[in-house]
Amino acid sequence: MEVCAQSEWILGNCVHELEGSVIPSHFKRLTPIGPVLPSSTLQRASAKDNLFTTSLWTEEDSCLQWLDAQKPKSVLYVSLGSIAIVDKDQFHELALALEAAKLAILWVVRDDLTGEKGTQLPEGFLERTQERMKIVSWSPQVLVLSHSAIGGFLTHCGWNSSMEALSMGVPLLLWPQFADQYINADTLAKWGVGLKMTDARQKPVGRENITAQVGKLMLEHEGEVVRARAMEVRHLMLKAVEEGGSSFNNLQAFVSWMKALPS
């Protein structure tokens, strides 16, 4: 915070129209320039037009072809991020919950998700779910979220993932794992773009609870409400980065300041 206080500019992956009421009172030097994503992605361009990636993991592009074969807004995307560790009991509860949901699901299962190399799925799980579930070790997430087949995102509430999802109008099932993710979840719920996982701090969160919340997001009226709100936020974000929009103007102001610095 001391460094921030001494900085002339702090550029944030956020949007004035969503957080403008908070920024002046708490972070006067913070300048929103979000969403920070390639313009082609924001316009839902095809995968071949999106060659930009910052992923620390090897992405499995095969999931995009799998998504091509699914119905619009029918797939639940599940990813708990690149760092979170889930204990074995919770992992098995999640797996059995997703199986019970009877939905098309794209699930990112990192090789170290349970803290040990080689995450083990419940016995017979792959055979029982292979017709409607795709499991990858890592995905090209921005391209996944921009795909028309995605109808919801069960997320750990990392800020980048949240901004990526909202930029695409994807509603969220909020399951924070640690650190700022709990605050992020509260903020996203306040914006009306996601449903909270009930008893999220319980260890483990039971399979029945997870299945019920997945159903609410994907199949029930509550999900329709947050889906509509998420789409509203997408349009708001698109306007922010268009010429003359708040994020566009803020970035232009920063560039002008940089150009005016003595060489």
CATH code of the domain in which 188 resides: 3.40.50.2000
- pTM, rounded to two decimals: 0.92
Position 56 scores a pLDDT of: 65
Domain count, the chain: 2
DSSP codes joined into one string, 121-169: PPTTHHHHHTTTEEEES---HHHHHTSTTEEEEEE---HHHHHHHHHTT
Look at residue 175 and tell me if it is in a domain: yes
Domain match, 71 and 191 both = yes
Does residue 45 lie in a domain region?
Answer: no
pLDDT given at position 203: 83
Q: Are residues 24 and 64 in the same domain?
A: no
Pair (62, 29) in one structural domain: no
Q: What is the pLDDT of residue 1?
A: 64
Q: Is residue 38 part of a domain?
A: no
Strands 150-155, 75-79: pairing is parallel
157 closest CA partner among 192, 182, 189: 182
In a domain, 3, yes or no: yes
238 occurs within a structural domain: no
Write out the chain's pLDDT in tens, 263 residues.
677 777 889 999 999 999 887 776 566 778 999 999 987 777 765 555 555 555 666 899 999 999 999 999 999 999 999 998 999 999 999 999 999 999 999 999 999 999 888 778 999 999 999 999 999 999 999 999 999 999 999 999 999 999 999 999 999 999 999 999 999 999 999 999 999 998 878 789 999 999 999 999 999 999 999 999 999 999 999 999 999 999 999 999 999 999 999 98
Identify whether 200 is part of a domain: yes
**How confident is the model at residue 6, as a pLDDT?**
75
Structure tokens at 150: 């995605």
User: Are 125 and 1 in the same domain?
Assistant: no
Residues 210 and 105 both lie in one domain = yes
Provide the token pair at 76. 């639940």
215 and 120 share a domain? yes
The confidence score (pLDDT) of residue 44 equals 62
Residue 96 resides in a domain = yes
Same domain, 94 and 154: yes
Co-location of 132 and 206 in the same domain: yes
**Same domain for 203 and 106:** yes
Confidence (pLDDT) at 247: 97
Judge whether 236 and 18 are in contact, CB under 8 Å: yes
The conformation of residue 40, written as its DSSP 8-state character, comes to H
Q: Domain limits at 110? A: 58-228
Alpha helices for 201-242 (secondary structure H): 207-219, 221-241
On whether both 17 and 111 belong to a single domain, the answer is: no
Same-domain check for residues 4 and 78: no
**Helical (H) or strand (E) element with 251:** helix 246-260
Q: Residue 17 domain-assigned?
A: yes
**206 shares a domain with 95:** yes
